[in-house]
Amino acid sequence: MHAVRPASELAQLGAVAEALGAAAVLVADEGTDRDLFVTLAVLAQRTRRVLLFGAVTNPHSRHPLATAAAFASLAELAPDRIVAGFGAGGSRVLTPMGLAPHRPFAALAECVEVVDGLLRGEAVDHQGEFAVRGGALPWSPGTLPLAIAGRGPRVERFAARRADWILLAGRAIQKVPALVEALRRVGREARGRPPAIAWNPNVAWTEAMSAEMRAHLAYMLVDMPAEERATIDPDAVLERYAIAGDRSSVVARLSDALRQVQPEMLLFDAHDYSVSFLESAAALAMDAGAIASHNEEVAHGVDSHRRP
């Protein structure tokens, strides 16, 4: 979810999602919205079971030491439920702050290592895209699961080697199975285990959702790697990057995609931030998951990488 509503409203939706069986609630970090960490704190107080992802913050809008302290504080509030999510930072986040990082991947990689060290209780000295001098959080409850989002191959390979979760969105639907297989292989080779995949395939099963999806995908193209953007026919964006149509066709296509990708978590955008939508999304996820497999459980979460 984007924090475009008061934290109390988002927390109520999170509680509804939890009651409907969601495994996680993800909150985006947009500098012009309500604060990510305040929103997650209220969600932590209104829910009991769901994982709570910061999805995602970046190395630039806050110093990584402050970010680590915020995630550690949340972990005190909701033990074993906080996932620290990171990305390089997109134009919607950084442009209003006047930020234009020269080496976004280097900053992301350094931020992940520094934050992880601080959460572990280590004393950290670092000089690179940012500086940390004798930073330490001796009160930190301990390391947290890490999630990394990114559409570029360099970030995705780094995530496969380093993160517990890869937040996967904005990829052509038909290319996702091979991509996920490759990323899992990278993880196994690097550290003996694959990353968990949380996949947001961009799903729309009403005309209103399809119209909103087209607008979202137009925004998505702005931050897409240039080599991928050059291959896209603007008239075919929805077909390529979304599973859209009437409900029955969406269930069939989504179940087929789930069989191929086998994500650990399926993410749905929050759409209009209503209880009725959450109920509809939960039912669709269960129908598609039931068709996809008789013995593989696909969790579902509530996410939004676009604004309502």
The tally of CA atoms less than 13 A away on the side-chain side of residue 88 is 21
Burial class (CB in 10 A: 0-12, 13-18, 19+), 8: exposed
| Mean pLDDT within 56-85 | 98
| Res 306 pLDDT > 60 | no
CB 112, CB 86: distance < 8 Å: yes
pLDDT digits (tens, 9 = 90+) for 84-106: 999 999 888 899 999 999 999 99
Residues in the chain: 308
Portion of the chain with pLDDT greater than 70, in percent: 90
pLDDT value for 304 = 45
> Which residues make beta-bridge pairs with 57?
86
| Mean pLDDT within 3-17 | 97
pLDDT value for 307 = 39
Name the band, by pLDDT with cuts 50, 70 and 90, for residue 302: low
Alpha-carbon distance of 163 to 47, in angstroms, equals 25
Copy the structure tokens of residue 134: 């004798």
pLDDT digits (tens, 9 = 90+) for 196-240: 999 999 999 999 999 888 887 876 676 666 777 677 776 678 889
> Which residues make beta-bridge pairs with 302?
25, 268
Is the link from the previous residue into 250 a cis peptide, with omega within 30 of 0?
A: no
| Res 140 pLDDT > 80 | yes
CA-nearest of 37, 76, 26, 57 to 200 is 26
Copy the structure tokens of residue 219: 């925004």
Tokens 């939960």 locate to: 282
CB 24, CB 51: distance < 8 Å: yes
CB 302, CB 25: distance < 8 Å: yes
Alpha helices (H) in the chain, listed in sequence order: 7-19, 36-46, 64-77, 91-94, 104-119, 153-162, 176-191, 207-222, 226-229, 237-241, 247-261, 275-292
pLDDT value for 201 = 94
| Res 30 pLDDT > 80 | yes
Residue 167's H or E segment, with its range, is strand 165-169
Start-to-end Cα distance in the chain: 9
pLDDT value for 214 = 85
pLDDT value for 31 = 83
Identify residue 300 by its one-letter amino acid code. Answer: H
The residue extents of the domains of the chain are 7-303
DSSP 238-281: HHHH-EESSHHHHHHHHHHHHHHH--SEEEEE-TT--HHHHHHH
| Res 294 pLDDT > 70 | no
| Mean pLDDT within 276-280 | 96
| Mean pLDDT within 8-35 | 96
Alpha-carbon distance of 83 to 134, in angstroms, equals 25
Q: Is 50 helix (H, G, I), strand (E, B) or coil?
A: coil
pLDDT digits (tens, 9 = 90+) for 231-268: 777 667 888 999 999 999 999 999 999 999 999 999 99
User: Which CATH superfamily groups domain 7-303?
Assistant: Luciferase-like domain (3.20.20.30)
